Amino acid sequence: MTESTHHGQTQHGRPWVPWLVTALVVLMSGAVMYLAHQGTSRAEALAERSRQDAVDAANRARDAESARLQLEQKLAALEAERTRLATEKEQLSTEKDQLSQTVQEQEAELAKLKATYDDLEDKMKAEIAEGAIRLSQAEGRIQVDLVDKVLFDSGDASISARGQEVLTRLGSVLAKVEDKSIQVSGHTDDSPPTQKLQSTFPSNWELSVARAVNVVRFLQETGGVPARRLVAAGYGQMRPVSSNATPQGRARNRRIEVLLMPDLPSKRTPPAAVRRALAGGTTPKAQAKPARGTK
């Protein structure tokens, strides 16, 4: 058998080889495509996972930022509350100190008031015992009521010898009082001045004012009471403390009241006639020594 014959037999004897090669190529192509598809799917999955992780990270970062802001707000609120409480504590401490100081001042004021009252009671005990002087204390004030016969002769505005002695003792106490205004007011009963006195005292107004002014001047000039603390006033019969229907009641209404009261913030200026009298200038008509009468 020749070589050509052998070759022809081989070709004709293996007809499946081309098909095998083709199948192998197709299989390999499919495998490559499958592997490529699997790689693409895996890459897409990885990419999707990366995107989701990024979204989750962004959400966590946003939540963390929100929590941080809330925490800052809570801290700011706590700091504001701490500041408020510290301020309130300081205010309470200040108010406590002020209240304590006020209580101490009030206690000191009450102590001084009591000392003045006790001093007056001691200096005037004889007149208090006989009912010629009444001493009272209320609401930070001390009032001394002196019936007119202790200081004046009947119908007279000039201070009697006994009156001078009484006012000297009274002035020795009042001169030591530093934080009170001292109002001296004259009062009468409802009987008008007698006809003999009306040229000097047309009404009870003039008589009550004249008596008050004379007491003020005596307390200033002889008793040493500072003039800036003294006030003179006359009320006539307008402020009775008893009924004018009986001699006893009229006797109580004819009086001089000396009222010690806390200083007012603004200084009051006394009437011009009283200022002149206190300054030793022109004596008002009501101060002229009157004739003796029934008052």
pTM above 0.75, yes or no: no
- Report whether 151 contacts 163 (CB < 8 A): yes
More confident residue, 258 or 25: 258
**Beta-strand pair 230-234/180-187:** parallel
Q: How confident is the model at residue 54 (pLDDT cuts 50, 70, 90)?
A: confident
Task: Residue 27: count other Cβ atoms within 10 Å of its Cβ.
Answer: 10
The pLDDT value recorded for residue 127 is 95
Lowest-confidence pick of 97-111, 169-183, 217-231: 97-111
Percent of the chain at pLDDT above 70? 84
Average pLDDT, integer, range 163-169: 96
Is the predicted pLDDT of residue 128 greater than 80, yes or no? yes
Alpha-helix runs per DSSP H in 14-157: 17-123, 125-130, 148-151
Is the predicted pLDDT of residue 159 greater than 70, yes or no? yes
- Report whether 205 contacts 234 (CB < 8 A): yes
Distance, CA of 104 to CA of 123 (rounded, Å): 28
The pLDDT value recorded for residue 135 is 96
Q: How confident is the model at residue 6 (pLDDT cuts 50, 70, 90)?
A: low
The pLDDT value recorded for residue 108 is 84
Distances (CA, A) of 102 to 3, 99, 106, 261, 262: 142, 5, 6, 19, 16
pLDDT tens profile 176-222: 998 899 999 999 999 999 888 889 999 999 999 999 999 999 999 99
pLDDT tens profile 245-261: 999 999 999 999 999 99
Alpha-helix runs per DSSP H in 124-160: 125-130, 148-151
Backbone angles phi, psi at 13, to 5 degrees: -85, -15
Distance, CA of 260 to CA of 184 (rounded, Å): 9
- Report whether 167 contacts 184 (CB < 8 A): no
More confident residue, 155 or 225: 225
Lowest-confidence pick of 76-80, 105-109, 142-146: 105-109
* Length of the chain (residues): 295
Average pLDDT, integer, range 30-48: 80
Q: What Rg do the C-alpha atoms of the chain give, in angstroms?
A: 57
Which residue carries 């009987």 as its tokens?
Answer: 191
Is the predicted pLDDT of residue 12 greater than 60, yes or no? no
Non-local CB neighbours of 274 within 8 Å, separated by 6+ positions: 213, 216, 232
The pLDDT value recorded for residue 121 is 95
What dihedral do alpha carbons 157, 158, 164, 168 form, nearest 10°? Answer: 70
